[in-house]
Amino acid sequence: MTDLLLALAHHLLVFTIAAVLAAELALLGRPMSAPALRRVSSLDAAYGMAAMLILLIGFGRVFQGAKGSAFYLHNPVFWAKIGCFLAVGLVSIVPTIRFLQWKKRLQADAGFVPAEAEVSRVRRLVQAELVLFVPIPLLAAAMARGFGYGA
């Protein structure tokens, strides 16, 4: 039962992260307003929480799941998946910093709106996050079918 619950939570968090990134991208594609800035900042906080939870639950699956840690830790497909996750995390640092800066500026100046060029740069980084995120569930599906195991 533990394995099932961990798997369900893990999958729901994957969909959550994909949805949050898509929502951030949509908001960044429109002219930025104070309400949009607050929404994107809140979404990014949710993204951070989901990313932390997915790591915790994912490693819970590795060490408490039915397949056992040997299935994962000796599997290059697992490590490719982890590498993609880390790459997404690294790319997400700059957008998160910008969202925090923008939120702080908005608190100081209710009329603050970030420059279009800056929003565009952040939007490209969120696009990169989504591109780097796509292989993660693909690698997970391959791994679940035994690819990389025993390699």
Q: What is the pLDDT of residues 91-129, one digit of tens each?
A: 999 999 999 999 999 999 998 999 999 999 999 999 999
Determine the length of the chain: 151
Find out whether 35 and 137 touch, Cβ atoms under 8 Å.
no
Residue 149 is assigned to a structural domain of this protein: no
d(CA 146, CA 127): 30
Across the range 16-23, mean pLDDT stands at 97
pLDDT at 149: 79
Its domain, for residue 81, covers 2-144
Across the range 119-148, mean pLDDT stands at 95
pLDDT at 66: 87
d(CA 140, CA 142): 5
Neighbours of 139 (CB within 10 A): 23
> What percent of the chain has pLDDT above 70?
99
Residue 150 is assigned to a structural domain of this protein: no
Q: Is the pTM of this model over 0.75?
A: yes
Residue 131 is assigned to a structural domain of this protein: yes
Residue 151 is assigned to a structural domain of this protein: no
Amino acid identity at 4: L
Helix axes 2-28, 34-64, angle to 10 degrees: 160
- Provide the pLDDT confidence category of residue 68 given band limits of 50, 70 and 90: confident
Query: For 30, which DSSP code?
Result: S
pLDDT of residue 151 exceeding 90:
no
| Count of the separate structural domains present in the chain | 1
- Provide the pLDDT confidence category of residue 150 given band limits of 50, 70 and 90: low
SS3 state at 73? helix
Residue 18 is assigned to a structural domain of this protein: yes
Q: Which residue has the tokens 């209710």?
A: 110
Nearest CA to 23 out of 129, 142, 100 is that of 129
